[in-house]
Structure 1
Amino acid sequence: MAGNFYTVECPDCENEQVVFGKAATQVACAVCGSTLAHATGGKAVFEGEVLDTVERREAPDDLTGSS
């Protein structure tokens, strides 16, 4: 899966939540229900402040079957 995850701060309650950068649907805050991200068909538009980028992790070669 190509894309990164981002830690986004809710503009209403200041909850920090991890959101996929290419969200396919609207993402709501788990605490107050406020909208954190809108889907655009590509990169999501974030309503709250992006605090951090959570890089995707690569699987070790022995788990993926690659040589």
Structure 2
Amino acid sequence: MRLWEKIIPRPRSSFLQVKCAECGNEQVTFSHASSVVRCNICGAILAEPTGGKANIKGEVVSRFE
């Protein structure tokens, strides 16, 4: 590990692009969401809060750093 990676902390959270299992819509959500995230098209639950990381119900397509 390089010196700067030890000194400068990086966040453990990130934004995720999640694909809805029911309609196939792709939507951006936060990995540590504190409220229920629903699909904009069909209203299905994409992420549920658990006190820390959100429980992702759909398929994670990509992660934004």
Q: Which interval holds the TM-score relative to the shorter structure? A: 0.7 to 0.9
Q: Distance in 2 between matches of 1:4 and 1:17?
A: 14
What stretches of structure 1 move > 4 A for 4+ residues in a row? Answer: none
Q: TM-score, normalised by structure 1?
A: 0.77
* Identical-pair percentage: 45
The alpha-carbon deviation at position 3 of structure 1 amounts to: 1.6
The alpha-carbon deviation at position 42 of structure 1 amounts to: 0.3
Q: Please state if 1:26 is matched with 2:56.
A: no
Q: 1:4-50 deviations in whole A, cap 9, x for unaligned? A: 00000000000000010000011000111000000001000111000
Match of 1:10?
20
CA RMSD of aligned residues (A): 1.3
Q: Please state if 1:47 is matched with 2:57.
A: yes
Give the unaligned 5+ runs of structure 2.
1-10
User: How many residues end up aligned between the 2 structures?
Assistant: 55
Match of 1:37?
47
Q: TM-score, normalised by structure 2?
A: 0.80
Give the unaligned 5+ runs of structure 1.
56-67
